[in-house]
Amino acid sequence: MLKFLSHVRTLETSYSSPELDSPVVKFQEQAPYIERFHKLDEKISKFINTVTIIIGVFVAAVPFVFKNHFPPKSFYEWLLIALIFFTFVALCSLWSFLFRALKLVNVPRMPFNEEIVELFKLNQNVNTIFFALTKTCLNAFEENKNVNAQKVKFLNKAYEDTVYAASLIVVDLFWIVFLQFLK
Domain limits for position 86 = 2-182
φ/ψ of residue 106, rounded to 5: -75, 120
Contact yes or no for 19/131 (Cβ under 8 A): yes
**How many structural domains are present in the chain?**
1
How does pLDDT run along the chain (183 residues), one tens digit per residue? Answer: 445 445 444 544 444 444 445 555 555 555 566 666 667 778 888 888 999 999 999 989 889 888 888 888 899 999 999 999 999 999 999 999 999 988 877 766 666 667 777 777 776 677 777 777 778 778 888 888 888 889 889 999 999 999 999 999 999 999 999 998 887
In the 8-state DSSP scheme, what is residue 30? T
Long-range CB pairs of 25-32, under 8 A, 24+ apart, other chains included: 26/138, 27/134, 27/137, 27/138, 27/141, 30/138, 30/141, 30/145
Distance CA 170, CA 133 (A): 54
Non-local CB neighbours of 144 within 8 Å, separated by 6+ positions: 37, 107, 108
